[in-house]
Amino acid sequence: MPGAVWKSRRALFRLGGLTTPVIEVHDLVKRYRKATANAVDGVSFEVEAGEFFALLGPNGAGKTTTIAILTTTLSPTSGMVRISGHHVVREASLVRRQAGIIFQNQSLDMNLTGEENVRIHAILYHLYPYRPLYRFMPAAYRQQLRELADVVGLGGDVFKPVKKLSGGMRRKLEIIRGLMHHPQVLFLDEPTSGLDTASRRNLWQYIGELRRRQDITICLTTHQLDEAEVADKVCILDHGHVVALGTPRLVKSQLAHERLYIDADDRAALRRRLVELNVPFSEDGVFTVVLDGRTAHEVVRAIDEPLTLLRTESPTLEDAYLRILAAGDE
């Protein structure tokens, strides 16, 4: 229900043209004690309500530091960060109520059962009073737990000791815990690291369903570039700086172009035609045409020679990402 209330409030904001960013980061700088360089160096970005935002970058780029500051576990050296309009340093407690976090490293207490981990979370977030046993907890808590356990497919396993749960089940348990307090923003710090393919797929299916049901804002950091392909916005960090920011489509189009692979029996004629068309191309067994703003249809229609090969290749976010990092290293 709180999700529904929040959704309608968001709709009102949008109707009035008053979309306020849920995450605002302006000129963020973090230098660790005794460090000689900034781990995060002048980072700025905004995330609108309901967006799926992906923060990408190689190891040491500053992703986890940025997430730690956004989730109030680390103080910034300078800059301004607000979550749902609350300042992360001055209003840390309010920020913590708005945020759900799934950490890069598992943060479950292995000595407890899954339910006991969730119960501690619910009490820490002031949702329910403390009771020493599950059966003494309020009915609303028990219902919410059962519903979430069923949704993520954990079912009755939520009552097992965490030690006896598989890696995928523990991640699901962390998701249940992160959602108990109906956060406006869900931070996912490399949530699929250490998960097998099936568990990864299940997790993303559930997160997709969650977005459809609750319209929650998601902030993801990941090394799995395919996970960020479906994001509304990506931000690529390198050495603490923002090196690309925008929709995955925009980032890809700016840094990697669609390619057309063609060949013909009369290669000399095809070569002459491509020169006449003034399109950039290279020859390496076949002709590779970089579609710098043109469509494949436009180029093929202008070629009269019979083609023996016709293939297009769209760049992936990974292509763009690797180009950006290579450019940075140069």
CB atoms within 10 A of CB 53: 23
Nearer Cβ to other proteins (8/93): 93
Least gap, CB of 77 to other proteins (angstroms)? 10
Minimum CB distance to other proteins, residue 124 (Å): 4
Which residues contribute to the site for other proteins (CB under 8 A)? Answer: 32-33, 71-75, 93-94, 96-97, 99, 101, 103, 105-112, 116, 119-121, 123-126, 128-130, 132, 177
For residue 103, the number of C-alpha atoms closer than 13 Å in the C-beta half-sphere is: 8
Kindly state the smallest distance separating residue 105's Cβ from other proteins, in Å.
Answer: 4
Residue 94 or 269 with smaller CB distance to other proteins: 94
DSSP string, 80-103: EEEETTEETTTTHHHHHHHEEEE-
Q: Which is nearer to other proteins, 172 or 177 (CB)?
A: 177
Q: Which of 108, 289 has the CB closer to other proteins?
A: 108
Amino acid symbol at 47: V
Nearer to other proteins, 186 or 274 (CB): 186
CA 185 from centroid of its chain's CA atoms = 12
Angle between helices 167-179 and 197-214 (to 10 degrees): 10
Q: Which residue has the tokens 């989730």?
A: 71
Least Cβ distance, residue 240 to other proteins (angstroms): 16
Rounded to the nearest whole angstrom, what is the least distance from the CB of residue 174 to other proteins in the complex?
9
> Which of 251, 254, 270 is CA-nearest to residue 262?
270
Is the distance from CB of 217 to CB of 182 less than 8 angstroms? no
Count CB atoms within 10 A of the CB of residue 77: 15
